[in-house]
Amino acid sequence: MTTLFRPSRRRLLTGAGTLAAASAIPTGWAIAQAKPLKVGLMLPYSGTFAKLGENITLAVELLIAEKGGKLGGRDVQIIKLDDESKPEVGPQNAERLIKRDGADVVIGTVHSGVQMGIHKVVRETGTLCIIPNAGANAVTRELCAKNVFRTSFTNWQPGYGMGLALAKKGIKKAAWVTWDYAAGNESGAGFREGLETGGGKVVQELKLPFPQTNFQPLLAQIPGLDVEVVGAFFAGGGAVQFVKEYKAAGLKAPLTGSGFLTDGTLEAQGAAADGLETALHYGDGIDNPKNAAFRKAFKDKTQRDADVYAVQGYDAAQLLAIGLEAVKGNIEDEANLYKAMRAAKIDSPRGPLTLSASQETVHNIYLRRVENGQNKVVGIAAPNLADPGTGCKLA
Ligand code: BEZ
């Protein structure tokens, strides 16, 4: 059997395509190309991360619309699955999307725990996966895989950037507050590492299970810690509530952390977020033509303001488009598809975006301050920051 007529791994998984392969009629690739490319979006559309999943989806749809509804010359069919940010059903949801619904590529997800379930399944099936948010370090470190790319961040990156910025300001004593799961814990480890570069310390970590929001027992402990700042990881609905309750508690230590604390949340947080400084790979007012065009197009199409999640979704679709254009829509040509994706130079609203050898983002981590309802960029906490990719053998 020639490569040209090799039945796709995904069609084998679903059982379709067997007839064409068996009859050896030169229809395999031609038929596959005539069929729409199935892009599976496995994202949260309910719960505390619902808005994050929605904005990623809207931005993926925006990029596809800008490309005339085609990627690499192929029509695109989007299949959506609400993963509800539930890690316990992550693997079975990913299997449904790939094996039952026949997704050729998975764009997902937001929650680091759910990502580990997707990762297991895409590694087993060899399905292309582009991660548009979840920062779980392992997927581009010791568990990296040639079919897995990320256009968002590792949990380590923004935490480390914030810690570095505080170290430069001479901060010596901090606390870390978070949901107790990979995103919060790995961000906290990055924050600690950054702070330690200046001799600072995280003296206490305060945690509650995801997605609980009973913050009062944690907030009550902060005055007794006598810290100069409090770093935090929360996102979505949980971040809205945490920032409001922190402000209402009248605590003297300034609140800071990974920029998810104030991204996509400012309207709901109102004055409670004013003046907060955080670190992230995006800021509302980044001054480049791509950001201006993207923000306008996103607003025109969705009546929403763009945020970091929309940017990450748009870049996931941009990366997929670059790969598919290189292989003229033939997603089975994995060698050339992955080669083009690895070499991609993405014109991102965040600024130039490239991928490291572990297929992970290399980008600026900006220092931002909330002013007039925006995350205004006030500096660069860590320029061109690459994750260490520890344990990844992709070269
Ligand atoms: C995560 O679970 O990896 C995550 C969720 C929301 C924002 C950032 C990271």
Neighbouring-strand partners of residue 347: 352
Cβ of 134 below 6 Å from ligand 1 = yes
The predicted structure's pLDDT at residue 285: 86
The predicted structure's pLDDT at residue 12: 47
Cβ of 131 below 6 Å from ligand 1 = no
The predicted structure's pLDDT at residue 296: 98
CA distance 248 to 339: 51
Angle, nearest 10°, between helix axes 308-326 and 50-66? 40
Half-sphere exposure of 74 (CA within 13 A, CB side): 27
Half-sphere exposure of 60 (CA within 13 A, CB side): 31
Average pLDDT of the segment spanning 371-389: 97
Cβ of 53 below 6 Å from ligand 1 = no
State pLDDT tens for residues 181-231.
999 999 999 999 999 999 999 999 999 999 999 999 999 999 999 999 999
Average pLDDT of the residues of the chain: 93
Cβ of 235 below 6 Å from ligand 1 = yes
| Residue 267 CB partners (closer than 8 Å, separation 6+) | 305, 373
Cβ of 135 below 6 Å from ligand 1 = yes
Query: Residue 2 pLDDT > 50, yes or no?
Result: no
The predicted structure's pLDDT at residue 4: 30
Residue closest to 83 by CA, chosen among 58, 56, 110: 110
Q: How many CB atoms lie within 10 A of CB 103?
A: 29
Backbone angles phi, psi at 219, to 5 degrees: -60, -35
Ligand 1 pocket check: which of 110, 157, 262 to mutate, most ligand atoms within 8 Å of Cβ?
Answer: 110
